[in-house]
Amino acid sequence: MDGITDLGRAAKKAGLKLKQNYRFLAKALAVKASGYAHARQMNRLKTAKKAMRKLMFKLKARIENAAQRAGKTMDQLPEHLAERLVRSNKVLFQQKKDKDQLLVWHAPEVEIIAKGKARSPYEFGCKVSLATNVNPAKAGHFILSSRALHGRPYDGHTLASTIENVEAITGCEISKAYVDKGYKGHDYEYKHRVYKSGQRRGVFGKIKQELKRRSAIEPIIGHAKHDHRMDRCRLKGKKGDQINAIFAAIGFNFKQILNWLALVYCICIQLLHTDTINYQPA
């Protein structure tokens, strides 16, 4: 429905006169489709989807005919309309197994990511790489690197660039990196510095203790998603995703500092209000 409405609005903005833009028909079909999906009536849902696709095909044909009557070629159309026509072609002819599917009309950069979890088999958006300190500082753990990665890269192929980003931000060389099993076959040059979850070889003493702290990043990811709005980006385009990931990390770090300052303040207040003890030597 959003694609049909947006495509008709773009054609009107470009000065093309259409006898029909199918806006109300698309809205009625969207209402029916939502009802069919809720009632698990999949055959009727497929029929509604096919009808929606036919409406988009008809609207695209009307726009091309209107442009031809106006004496304009496809190259002479405004950029916003040409871009939406390309999106409509992708929606009409994309297949289920295509890797670069258009999932959201107003956000073409959104990708589908298979999580493999029962509660959330798939997520829609882009991958974000986070790095934190293993041993907590006085104020706790901080997000040292936050990067939005488009194109669904393999986790192991992002490790080298993430470590380089951490070293550039902190100015310190990374001596050891603790990752999960998804980083098997990573691209980091110094492989002896990387330890994976469940690893047995070369894990002893302090390394064994620090490897257990690797899971501390999981609640940090949850707080960054739900408390600092990393899970839903309101900014436009790929640049917006990258900015949102950085801002969420900044918000988490500021919250850690504020919590630590509040704790220090409470301790100081308690010390000021404690009763003084008069000590008299014997």
Which pLDDT value is given to residue 123?
A: 83
Q: What is the pLDDT of residues 137-186, one digit of tens each?
A: 989 999 999 999 998 898 899 999 999 999 999 999 999 999 998 898 88
Closest Cα to residue 65, out of 55, 56, 74?
Answer: 74
Which pLDDT value is given to residue 275?
A: 56
**DSSP class of 232:** S
Strand partners, 148: 128
Average pLDDT over residues 235-259: 93
Average pLDDT over residues 94-108: 84
Q: Are 83 and 89 in contact (CB under 8 A)?
A: no
pLDDT at residue 129 tops 60: yes
The C-alpha atoms of residue 209 and residue 242 are separated, in whole angstroms, by 33
Three-state secondary structure readout of 92-155: HHCCCCCCCCCCCCCCCCCEEEECCCCCCCEEEECEEEEEECCCCECCECCEEEEEEECCCCCH
Average pLDDT over residues 106-128: 84
Q: What is the pLDDT of residues 80-95, one digit of tens each?
A: 888 899 889 888 888 8
The C-alpha atoms of residue 65 and residue 57 are separated, in whole angstroms, by 12
pLDDT at residue 102 tops 80: yes
pLDDT at residue 221 tops 80: yes
Which pLDDT value is given to residue 195?
A: 92
- Domains in the chain: boundaries: 2-93, 122-265
Q: What is the pLDDT of residues 222-237, one digit of tens each?
A: 999 999 999 888 898 8
Give the predicted TM-score (pTM) of the model: 0.79
Which pLDDT value is given to residue 113?
A: 84
Average pLDDT over the chain reads 88
